[in-house]
Structure 1
Amino acid sequence: MRVLLADDHSIIRNALKFIFQDLEDDTDFEEVRGYPQLEERLTHASPLLDMVVMDLQMPGYEGLGQIRRIVDAAGPIPVAVFSMMENVDDIRAVLRQGVRAFIPKSTDEALIGTLLKLVAGGGTYIPAQVSGLTDNKTTAPALALDASLAPGLDRSMVTQAPEDPRLAGLTRRQREVLALMSQGLSNMEIGNRLGLNLSTVKTHVTGILKALDVDNRTQAVLMARGLTSG
């Protein structure tokens, strides 16, 4: 696999390298630090790329139309955004340019590799705060998009994936805990957010895993986001 990493911070590029190498040992990397270099690289057909992972806040940014140009230039190659951006409206605007995934840099480290693997395999990812699974909303299921919908993504074109029936069996409090797990919060952080002691949070997490019939937190979060049937 050959991955183009576009980020002006070397620490982020190096972190992504470690994550990809854990996914697949035989991974080659190319690196650019800004939009001009990124767009220039995509004008060359070889060596063939398998994936592009890009930041948004890089030198040379010209606007959303530039992201669309990058997606179009990449062609069938999946483009994933890995960004500090958290504003829901801004994330939606970026997704509408056709990127396959928007992965906030605040995402739990254990999930990032799984999400990159999903995108590399042709999938699409939308963060929980955009798809509706937040600590303020516990009933709306996340969106699971077919990769064919990624180009020209518009929410009016997308239908919601049916919620796994196992999710319906969760209590209100378990859904709140699961929503915060989906944001990458630790048990301690969840307890602080909900006013619960650590042992109570652990009990809720154990109950969630049992109710969803999954082995770990990552599987539970992916199920809640509609990315796996568990």
Structure 2
Amino acid sequence: MAFDVAADAYGRFMGRYSEPLAEQLAELAGVRRGQRAVDVGCGPGVLTSRLVARLGADGVRALDPSPSFVAAARARCPGVDVRQGTAEQIPFADDSADVVLANLVVHFMSDPVGGLREMGRVGGLVGATVWNHATTAGPLSTFWQAVKDRDPDAADEATLPGTGEGALGELAREAGLRDLVETTLTVTVPFSSFEEWWEPYTLGVGPAGDYVRALDADARDALRGHCAELLPDGAFTVDATAWAVLGRA
């Protein structure tokens, strides 16, 4: 999966959505001064920075498998213990955190149940979000609709773990989490033009970026044109909904 990319590329592609979503996740989890938190799959530090704002750098630790994202998170959040690692093997001790969060990570874990279980090992309250890719409410819905219109057999993100209604909660239950709270979080992202919306898809980030980069020039231009047909002229907004779950180990 193409996530070992520059932090700027991630920010231009998904950061516009994940930045406001991270604030909502921190609020949903009730993160407050005096707690200790871990950001699992921290990327370039989007959620990490929100946790630092609430807890201070000493109260936050983070990890991500991508070396470039680890470096970016360290630069964005000085003083935070940011390590390279995966959700399935978190490099922190049992019960060493009050809150362990994963923003837009579970559907990319190699073992989502194992990753959520490991999060529960490290901290008491576990929280996670996953985009609602299984319907038209996700941030990339228009892109994947355009892809499917031209390439019906293309593999989109709707089959990734946790992306369907109730699926994230089911993963949490399988991981042994209890007292579950399941809800949705929605962000609204403005775009000044179609070009501002399209250009991030060419940066090679995530499954969508992988798909675009694999196309030849003619196919890429055709996909771009069809996306433009599906979106309004001029400025527009994209509403993106994520599934969210909180539970205790």
Greater RCO, CA 8 A, separation 6+? 2
- TM (norm. structure 1) is 0.36
- TM (norm. structure 2) is 0.34
User: Greater strand share, 1 or 2?
Assistant: 2
